[in-house]
Structure 1
């Protein structure tokens, strides 16, 4: 007994991770379809480490009827066209793009944080996967919010180039090599040189008609998605920075609470919370960096400490594999949650 599952954008970084994680977690599938744009049609890709090979199908001609779940990792453009088609055919869509996240009829889900919100998926038969930076942050915030009610969050992110896709990873590699051999280092994917540099700019800038004038859309997403997932009353100010790291997003998070919360209590809550691995030794190397989180499911929290600038404040460091918890893993976890709460397995 199992589900028929479609992975859309299967040849991209996140799509491949979805296939890997479906295999790793032994998600109950009777059939898997790898779907992508016409230029990838006919390519052969692996279904994780299962030993099964999949022939990529053309999304323009794909018949959605009879499929149970579609994991979309193809961006907003294809999602706008094909996600409603799949949903109308009875295939529940879990979309990784930003297209549906703020739609009031589409639940935005992080299973460790707001699992009950998935019950509203039937309105459109679509479920949204949050922004990669938001996902790891709200996992860490959830147990703290339940204990002491968060009033305000100030976060600075250090986001890897894999968040910009294969082109971003290629650009970091090529520019890094160019630095050593003296070749030109002209940026193509990013607005400035990314090798041996940091860029305080991810996505487009918000305009003067927005409450977030001067912020980037990535920074806006972190605020409004946190409000939708966790609590609409939390104030969020984000600064999102692209850094020369291939995989793994990091965040420095400062939180102001309504009620007092000691460092010891916060660490105890984080240690017991689902999806979190607390690694906090106040010594050299007693924390987790992006290199160490690659390939892992957990959201790692380190350096929990009191923020002396506000009455009830804590600060911590948060790291996660953005291709996994920030995208593919969370989507598969949503599919698992959907199966437990709503879908009946077909024989």
Structure 2
């Protein structure tokens, strides 16, 4: 007997990716329901190569009888409908930022802290972390086990798909405009994104950091270790899909490059591509459609004791969002919702 699964925000980038991944991984669902706002009702979304789902109205949907909801409609919508679904007995894996720092809601990366899923019983909701946090922690977990991480300094190079369809459209239109002499003013981003970099993701906070940077700090502490100090600089770059990160790590104990490489190569969800030659690393264009977090450029940091640096890349729509949510649901049904 399979499960009834609702995909909330099914017409968005992440929602469509969730549907694709559910099919690819043969998720044990007897029924999958696509939900979105009233303006999308009746639209069709693909579920695998040969199945089409008609979108239903989230506002009117009765979650009674649903086992799992995979939710990605935006924080304000989730704030209303994730608790409503949970109250009906449906366990929600929520991909928005709204519930992440609630102490009664687990924040989970399955390769890092799957045991936290057990806390779902408190509110019926499990939070999916921020995309940039997920890929970093998949790589940091085996290193933390190896040498105990004290401090992380990370610079991110985040694709426009992290800002949704509007971000992707803006990059396309501005790039086209450069070539046809038809300049397009920024709408989604604070400055032009085509052929440019923008050192701002989300709003500014009182200390001068952005909310995206704050998320990486507090989520790392909640998921991996509250003692780890994190300094993040998050940058939007003119890439359609795939986030990249330059990560510098300071350990309590000595960790060699060889030890780090061996730990990463044996870690779940990590693929090491680290050849000291031109092209011997992974770039964002190569990670699109892939499940792994790719780690390259592993090297000693000679400026501090017990320091290492590395480069990591991942598909932000998959591991950074949809895949992580589906993996959480897989652990949930394997260990807690067995039928």
For Structure 1 versus Structure 2, the TM-score category normalised by the shorter chain is over 0.9
Task: Provide the aligned C-alpha RMSD in A.
Answer: 0.5
d(CA) in 2 for partners of 1:308, 1:124: 46
C-alpha deviations, 1:245-270, integer Å up to 9, x for none? Answer: 00000000000000000000000000
1:227 CA drift (Å): 0.4
Residue 6 of structure 1 aligns to a residue whose secondary structure is strand
d(CA) in 2 for partners of 1:292, 1:32: 30
* Alignment of structure 1 residues 1-347 onto 2, 5 Å: 1-49=1-49, 51-207=50-206, 213-345=207-339
How does the TM-score come out when normalised to structure 1? 0.97
d(CA) in 2 for partners of 1:286, 1:184: 37
For residue 210 of structure 1, what is the aligned residue in structure 2?
none
C-alpha deviations, 1:121-153, integer Å up to 9, x for none? Answer: 100000000000000000000000001000000
d(CA) in 1 for partners of 2:239, 2:97: 23
1:4 CA drift (Å): 0.3
1:185 CA drift (Å): 2.2
C-alpha deviations, 1:148-168, integer Å up to 9, x for none? Answer: 000000000000000000000
d(CA) in 1 for partners of 2:111, 2:317: 17
Misfit runs of 4+, over 2 Å: none
1:48 CA drift (Å): 2.4
d(CA) in 2 for partners of 1:247, 1:258: 35
d(CA) in 2 for partners of 1:245, 1:330: 21
Residue 289 of structure 2 aligns to a residue whose secondary structure is coil
* Unaligned ranges ≥5, structure 2: none
Residue 156 of structure 2 aligns to a residue whose secondary structure is strand
Residue 330 of structure 2 aligns to a residue whose secondary structure is helix
C-alpha deviations, 1:82-101, integer Å up to 9, x for none? Answer: 00000000000000000000
d(CA) in 2 for partners of 1:147, 1:26: 34
* Unaligned ranges ≥5, structure 1: 208-212
d(CA) in 2 for partners of 1:134, 1:268: 22
C-alpha deviations, 1:51-87, integer Å up to 9, x for none? Answer: 1110100011000000000000101011011000000
d(CA) in 1 for partners of 2:222, 2:45: 36
d(CA) in 1 for partners of 2:331, 2:256: 33
